[in-house]
Structure 1
Amino acid sequence: MYRTLRLIMLIALLNLQQAFAQTPDSVIVAGIVKEATENSQLEKLAHELMDVIGPRLVGSPQMQQAHDWAVEKYKTWGITARNEKWGEWRGWERGVTHIDMVHPRVKSLEGMQLAWSPSTAGKSVTAELVIIPDVQDSIAFQQWLPQVKGKFVMISMNQPTGRPDYNWQEFATKESFEKMKKERTAQTEAWRKRISKTGMNNRTLAEALEKAGAVGIVMSNWSNGFGVNKIFGANTKKIPTIDIALEDYGLLYRLTESGNKPKITVRSDSKEKGTVPTFNTIAEIKGTEKPDEYVILSAHFDSWDGGTGATDNGTGTLVMMEAARILKKLYPNPKRTILVGHWGSEEQGLNGSRAFVEDHPEIVSNIQAVFNQDNGTGRVTSLAGQGFLHSYEYLGRWLSVVPANIKDPIETRFPGSPGTGGSDFASFVAAGAPAFSLSSLSWSYGSYTWHTNRDTYDKIVFDDVRSNAILAAIMAYMASEDPQKTKRDQIVLPVNPQTGKPGTWPAKRTPTRKGGVN
């Protein structure tokens, strides 16, 4: 009888301990991990956004398609969402680009027109190539300019090697590697001087070549990795600007330099769409106790269009959408309102988020926290306080419930210093709102996927994205539930050694609300 009583008391004690251990926070956190792991929607969302819709250049039909897709997707999860107009942009749609060398032999070339490049008006243009010459000065360049009439003009340096440095480091002798780097540095400086002596910059050079009768501009913006080029925007208004892969650009350059007079045929079928409206997509899970205080999950929605914008910033978009889906399922009645901001035109200067900050002072003044993710597919490894004096107190509290395998690799820096740009969190920091960047492991982001022709679905590391979605959901939940409102006290910034004056908090900047039109 005594033993039985002891056993009953022991079981009751264990049950009591277990009840105390199962706090509301731990139950929600466990649920978030379980839902993200066992019912992940990331792969499906990634396929629909990156493969079906594709890149999301501001002003393109694909950007509008993505906005509408997101609104409908949120509706299926029971989340209210809307497209909120903030400006307008030059409308443009990429078409087929086909580039062939037709002399001295036939070869199809790897390349594409740049964003907003003019088309070839439904026909193929065939012409010889010339290289920007090494002239004495701008007067000599003006004297040379008539020679571009009817020609494609090559305006990029011919890279001495298509092998990234890590490949040389692995296989070359030390002497050979050092020799290559020295020669490349000298060649790069010589090319910089060559362009400088024309008296022009990238924009004015393109305008001068176009005015002088060139039929197109050919360039190669290598990204220091095998097969990778950066793809940005064209500076021409009437003739196409095309980027050609390093390997094929080098071939054309050498043939031109050796007097073999190569010719290429180019067809680019882009379409001008006039001036079109631009939007942010805003999703909302309304707060119950403090609906006028806000936790914001943030990621820019637009991309460049060399690839499909998979890691810049498709992965950040996926993180915030998946976090919102999970929260709506497990935490449908948050204490504070949870917003998800999918910002437009981040790539042209944080325009969507700056417009939101400018248009919604009533929200910005009541932000509990903003969590932004925008630097690739990797798991989060860094979180800084952005110069908010007390950020350690509340971010530390919220991080304390994050599972160790996600939390422990994160390096924290408090209070840190305010970010001045780089991504949309800076728009909120400039307005004095506590906004934080969930900064990620590289996965060779800078060379291989950031603004490149290889930023595609296959570069997504879904285990890392899943980890980030769990982190974002937990941080949003904790920020919403926190009894205390976050403090906005700012650090005293150190003296700027260049000016000798105390540092100042970054100022709010006005967005460009009408872009790409002159």
Structure 2
Amino acid sequence: MRITLTKHVALKSLGLAYVLLTSSSVFAQDKNAVVTAIVQEANSNSYLENYAFELVDMIGPRLVGSPQMQQAHDWVVKTYTALGAEARNEVYGEWRSWDRGTSQATMTYPRVKSLEGTQLAFSPATKGKGIEAEVVAMPVFSSASDFQAWLKTVKGKIVLIGMNPISGRSDANWKESASAAGYDKYQGLKNEQQKKWDLSMSYTEHTRRTLPLALEAAGAVAVIDSYWTELPGLTRIFDAKSKQIPVFNIALEDYGMLYRMAERGVKPRVLLEGNSKELGTAKTYNSIAEIKGKEKPNEYVVLSAHLDSWDGGTGATDNATGVITMMEAVRILQKVYPNNKRTILVGNWGSEEQGLNGSSAFVEDNPEIAKNIQVVWNQDNGTGRIVRIAGSGFEKSYEYISRWLQYIPEEFRKEIQTTFPGMPGTGGSDHSSFVQRGIPAFGLSSTSWDYGKLTWHTNRDTYDKIVFDEVRQNAIIVAILTYLACEEPELVSRDRIVLPIDKNGKQMEWPTNLKSKRTSGN
């Protein structure tokens, strides 16, 4: 059917269209003005280096349950309060409280040498003047019975449990400097060594983290490991599972020396001194900051970053960079967007490293907040600029995220790759705690800066590895996305995709595997 408009009606309609178009243009201009102000404030008045100094250098590593973690919680609350937010430490459980203290490893025979290394987190302390004993290296086993027979020989010994790689040079160094034939030969030997070691470990029925329990039961007096990252001088620092004997991690360069001596029958001796302290249990918290919305105070845009870390370094890129990114975004928004429509809630989660416990507990404990969350922005993978955003399995995530991204400065936006609708995460970082409850939550993934080998849970995750220009860029992106999420007229869709069929022909289901641990004992 064709409709013919009278001249008057046509002009009236045209006028209405002009008004709507003009209003939309003014609205867009207003948004662009706020975005411009965000960028200017971030670039001219950054607080990032101050925040990093206080958190990374002054407080240091933030092992869950430790006194340093409590200091970090209190610093976060104090800093957000100074920014005008309502801040609190919200209890969700308790954890074993352990203080590292000082630790030292010294080879005393066949010569005296200080060794580069430290106790693992939660390791039992050494008593008196330390533990000095002969060092033996765990061999490659050919069967389970072979392992059981060897266990009878470790009483009174310090045991090396890690594989000693055939080279302490990085793969990149080999590829750059070796001949093609030499590189291929090295790769073959490396792969064969790893294959044999993995088979040998299977006979023990343990991982490197649980093996000390078997050695403890067999009478060993201490354990030394070296969890090399394949870069010189770098080693991963996790936790000890032993109950009575200390576990140390020694840098490959010194570990390999001990290993070669033990293999050749030198019988090296090492003195281990670990002055850690058991402090009972301590309350565990999430540090929460809120800037109440002026129009919709019961709807929330959540900025998410875990506060805890392992304690081999100082937790700079895992995850102080995420914490200060969110803090800087809030500082900027308080200055340029004081009338935020929705409540901006910052979650600085505890015990992420033990299983996303803090964020999972928050969602479980705050159903009224959870049901009214607009979106969650999570940052937790190093110091690099944000370059990837996936839709986490929310069917219509592209509609709003793609629209909001258009306001990001072009030089930032052109690098950001999006994947919609994406897939819901089963873990990895704190946005998964929200996604699994059907809340639109998104990881803001960054460029690597060799995160996996250089700083992730290593002894070199320190302030000097922070690239502040890229963290500043991230704070700008988070501030803009938060502003736009606050301004969105309605709560965004929570519709989920129908997940595909898995490789076994079964219909995949939305993950629900994350449950918070409230104590270190369960």
Structure 1-normalised TM-score? 0.94
Q: Are the counterparts in 2 of residues 81 and 283 from structure 1 also a CA contact under 8 Å?
A: yes
In the alignment, is residue 509 of structure 1 matched against residue 499 of structure 2? no
The equivalent residue for 2:490 is 484
Q: Are the counterparts in 2 of residues 431 and 508 from structure 1 also a CA contact under 8 Å?
A: no
The equivalent residue for 2:317 is 311
Distance 1:190 1:351 in 2: 36
Secondary structure in 1 matching 2:153: helix
Residues 468-477 or 123-132, more deviating: 123-132
The equivalent residue for 2:237 is 231
Distance 1:163 1:215 in 2: 31
- The C-alpha deviation readout for 1:290-321, integer Å capped at 9, x for no partner, is 11111000001100111000000010011001
Q: Are the counterparts in 2 of residues 97 and 267 from structure 1 also a CA contact under 8 Å?
A: yes
Aligned residues: 500
In the alignment, is residue 267 of structure 1 matched against residue 273 of structure 2? yes
Long gaps (5+) in structure 1: 1-15
Residue type of the partner of 2:501? V
The equivalent residue for 2:410 is 404
Aligned CA distance change for structure 1 residues 149 and 503 (closer, same or farther; 3 Å):
same
The equivalent residue for 2:195 is 189
Residues 269-278 or 122-131, more deviating: 122-131
Of residues 165, 172, 188 in structure 2, which corresponds to 1:166? 172
In the alignment, is residue 105 of structure 1 matched against residue 111 of structure 2? yes
Secondary structure in 1 matching 2:152: helix
Q: CA RMSD in A?
A: 1.6
Q: Are the counterparts in 1 of residues 84 and 291 from structure 2 also a CA contact under 8 Å?
A: no
- The C-alpha deviation readout for 1:140-171, integer Å capped at 9, x for no partner, is 43333232122100101111111111111111
- The C-alpha deviation readout for 1:172-195, integer Å capped at 9, x for no partner, is 111111111111111112122222
Shift of 1:139: 3.4
- The C-alpha deviation readout for 1:256-283, integer Å capped at 9, x for no partner, is 1011111111101111111111000000
Distance 2:41 2:387 in 1: 22
Distance 2:369 2:345 in 1: 10
Shift of 1:76: 1.3
The equivalent residue for 2:435 is 429
- The C-alpha deviation readout for 1:438-472, integer Å capped at 9, x for no partner, is 00000000000001000000000000000000000
Q: Are the counterparts in 2 of residues 286 and 333 from structure 1 also a CA contact under 8 Å?
A: no
In the alignment, is residue 291 of structure 1 matched against residue 289 of structure 2? no
Aligned CA distance change for structure 1 residues 21 and 324 (closer, same or farther; 3 Å):
closer
- The C-alpha deviation readout for 1:18-44, integer Å capped at 9, x for no partner, is x95982212211111111111100001
The equivalent residue for 2:227 is 221
Matches within 5 A, 1:58-97: 58-97=64-103
Shift of 1:122: 4.3
Q: Are the counterparts in 1 of residues 209 and 239 from structure 2 also a CA contact under 8 Å?
A: no
Of residues 24, 29, 32 in structure 2, which corresponds to 1:23? 29
Q: Are the counterparts in 2 of residues 320 and 340 from structure 1 also a CA contact under 8 Å?
A: yes
Matches within 5 A, 1:388-467: 388-467=394-473
Aligned CA distance change for structure 1 residues 202 and 47 (closer, same or farther; 3 Å):
same
Structure 2-normalised TM-score? 0.93
Secondary structure in 2 matching 1:443: coil
Shift of 1:364: 1.1
Distance 1:125 1:207 in 2: 18
The equivalent residue for 2:333 is 327
Distance 1:260 1:76 in 2: 60
Distance 2:206 2:448 in 1: 35
Residues 415-424 or 139-148, more deviating: 139-148
Q: Are the counterparts in 2 of residues 289 and 335 from structure 1 also a CA contact under 8 Å?
A: yes
Residue type of the partner of 1:336? R
Aligned CA distance change for structure 1 residues 203 and 446 (closer, same or farther; 3 Å):
closer
Q: Are the counterparts in 1 of residues 427 and 514 from structure 2 also a CA contact under 8 Å?
A: no
Q: Are the counterparts in 2 of residues 158 and 250 from structure 1 also a CA contact under 8 Å?
A: yes
Shift of 1:123: 1.9
Shift of 1:239: 0.9
The equivalent residue for 1:376 is 382
Q: Are the counterparts in 2 of residues 232 and 304 from structure 1 also a CA contact under 8 Å?
A: yes
Percent sequence identity over aligned pairs: 57
The equivalent residue for 2:54 is 48
Aligned CA distance change for structure 1 residues 366 and 173 (closer, same or farther; 3 Å):
same
Aligned CA distance change for structure 1 residues 508 and 329 (closer, same or farther; 3 Å):
farther
